[in-house]
Amino acid sequence: MGWLPSWLGGSGGESKPTPQVTSDGGVQAPNRRDRARCWEARDAYFKCLDKHNILDSMGPGAADAKAKCPVEDTEFEKNCASSWVKYFREWRVAEYKKQERLRMIEAENAKAQAQR
């Protein structure tokens, strides 16, 4: 599985990546190519979630997300470190709430403007 990012240890499937430890005791970070691959998998996964109207892919929504987007879910988990996967899932919900709040504020502003 040579195409897998080095920090995944070349092992695919469900097994979690074994981080590559450098000779001075550090842990090698994903490089630019690894990041691009992870972001690509994430975007494909989120697009699928959008299609099925799923916002939260954690907790109660996890099973539904997995059932509707099995391929994308697996690719996402495979190409991103688990801390990143968790971060991006949370980010998706937070970002939606943020946009929702912005829309609300804008709508209120528009209403106030119209009343004036």
Distant-in-sequence contacts of 47-55, Cβ < 8 A, 24+ apart: 47/72, 48/72, 49/92, 55/92, 55/93, 55/96
Residue 44 sits in the site that holds another protein (CB under 8 A):
no
**How many Å is the maximal CA-CA distance in the chain?**
68
State which of residues 15, 31, 99, 109 lies at the interface with another protein (CB under 8 A): 31
Site for another protein in 50-89 (CB under 8 A): 80-84, 87-88
- Alpha-carbon gap, residue 17 to 2, rounded angstroms: 14
x/- map, 1-30, another protein, by CB under 8 A? ---------------x-xx-xxxxxxxxxx
Q: Is residue 93 within 8 Å of residue 61, measured between CB atoms? A: no
Question: In the complex, what is the shortest distance from the CB of residue 47 to another protein, in angstroms, rounded to a whole number?
Answer: 17
Residue 99 sits in the site that holds another protein (CB under 8 A):
no
Residues that bind another protein (CB under 8 A): 16, 18-19, 21-32, 35, 38-39, 80-84, 87-88
